[in-house]
Amino acid sequence: MDDADDFSASTVIAWLMYTRETLHRLIYNVRTNPNVNILEICGRQKLETLELSHNSITGVEPNFQRFPCLKSLSLSYVSISALDLNLLLTACPKIETFGLVNPEIAMSDAQVTVELSSPTLKSVYVEAISLDKFILEADSIESLHLKDCALELFELIGKGTLKHFKIDDVSVIQLYIGETVDNLEIIDVSNFTIIWPKFYQMISKSSKLRKLRLWDVVFDDEDEIVDLENIAVCFPHLSHLALSYDLRDGVVNYGLQGSSHLEYVIILELGWTVINDLFSLWVEGLLKLCPNLKKLVIRGVVSEAKSHEECQMLANFTSSMVQLMRTYMHVDVQFDYE
């Protein structure tokens, strides 16, 4: 029913009672008056996937409201306490995938803290949540995606199983993703303020890394740079590199220094938000570091109202790219402007 007005609770309950014994998948996005207790009606059944929106969850009893077969749980715009949220995961002994979008977390004290624990979780997606502390204990987790969140502290406690880590438009003061990150294969960071030395130290032991994406990132210190020499040394299997951040003279010159090459990088994505004359030099420098490159993608933002200077800069960039690619005839080049 999506955003329709309140629907009849008795009708919804009747549908659920009639189908619950054979139900494997439930997508519930309807407002009712009064609220329908999905856990009480559908617990202890065969449900494997539950996508629950616009509902209120209170007083979770893991022993009674149990979901023995549930593997995927998604909660969107749901009102629930931090305690009940953890108890709900406890009530799903086989859960592998968990999504939490814009919840209303009821708290008893001033500090908003959520602690979740599950030994079976493999994939976690969290969006539009504002908390003081978010602590996730997941020994089997392989994929973690945080989007549009405001957190003072986020901590992942695991056993080094994480393979895919993505953060997009997240504000976090303290970020910990565990001591053992040896199995990380993909790191995707966008719209994020980075303290590069700390971030690099956190991921530097990820020797199996295949893809590193740092897109529209801002450095906490203007003098910080992404040291490509260290990236080449610490991530020997890196095959996909994507970079987009403000370029300054020091960033271009110092960031490209070093004797190590990105030998295995075959896909290179480079982007700008505001183009300047340094971008062409940066592209050329990175091409020299990637001797086995097969594909280059240039992504840029072109404003609607362009001054003559902006037009000339874009024209100069285009000319320099044409000249540059004559040297790299074997590289497939794509341009993507917005």
pLDDT for 36: 92
Q: Angle 160-166-172 (CA atoms, 0-180°, nearest 5)?
A: 95
Mean pLDDT (whole number) for 4-12: 82
91 phi-psi bin (left φ>0, alpha ψ -120 to 50, beta other): alpha
Closest CA to 177 of 205, 147, 211, 218: 205
pLDDT in tens, 81-109: 999 999 999 999 999 999 999 999 987 66
Phi, psi of 222 (to 5 degrees): -60, -25
User: Do the domain assignments include residue 237?
Assistant: yes
Q: Is the whole model's pTM more than 0.95, yes or no?
A: no
pLDDT for 108: 65
Is 60 exceeded by the pLDDT of residue 288?
A: yes
Residues 264 and 238 sit within 8 Å (Cβ to Cβ): yes
Is 90 exceeded by the pLDDT of residue 309?
A: no
Q: Is the dihedral of CA 147, 151, 157, 160 positive or negative?
A: positive
pLDDT for 253: 57
List Cα–Cα distances, 222 to 196, 213, 217, in angstroms. Answer: 11, 20, 12
Measured CA to CA, the distance from residue 144 to residue 129 in angstroms comes to 15
Mean pLDDT (whole number) for 112-131: 95
Distance of CA 285 to the CA centre of its chain: 29
pLDDT in tens, 32-58: 888 999 999 999 999 999 999 999 999
pLDDT in tens, 203-243: 888 999 999 999 998 887 766 777 888 889 899 999 999 99
User: Do the domain assignments include residue 86?
Assistant: no
Indicate the average pLDDT of the chain.
89
The angle that helices 278-289 and 308-325 make with each other, rounded to 10 degrees, is 20
Distance of CA 310 to the CA centre of its chain: 33
- Residue 259 vs residue 153, higher pLDDT: 153
pLDDT for 116: 96
pLDDT for 278: 84
Q: Describe the strand order of the beta sheet including 171-176 as a list of residue ranges.
A: 113-117, 130-137, 150-157, 171-176
Structural domain boundaries, residue 257: 222-337
Q: What letter represents residue 334's amino acid?
A: Q
User: Do the domain assignments include residue 204?
Assistant: no
pLDDT in tens, 266-285: 999 999 877 888 888 889 98
User: Do the domain assignments include residue 170?
Assistant: no
Place of tokens 């987009």: 244
Measured CA to CA, the distance from residue 189 to residue 201 in angstroms comes to 15
Q: Which pLDDT band holds residue 251 (cuts at 50, 70, 90)? A: low
Q: Give the total number of structural domains in the chain.
A: 1
Rounded percentage of the chain residues whose pLDDT exceeds 90:
63
User: Do the domain assignments include residue 176?
Assistant: no
Q: Which pLDDT band holds residue 194 (cuts at 50, 70, 90)? A: confident
User: Do the domain assignments include residue 294?
Assistant: yes
Measured CA to CA, the distance from residue 203 to residue 165 in angstroms comes to 10
Mean pLDDT (whole number) for 181-191: 94
User: Do the domain assignments include residue 28?
Assistant: no
User: Do the domain assignments include residue 264?
Assistant: yes
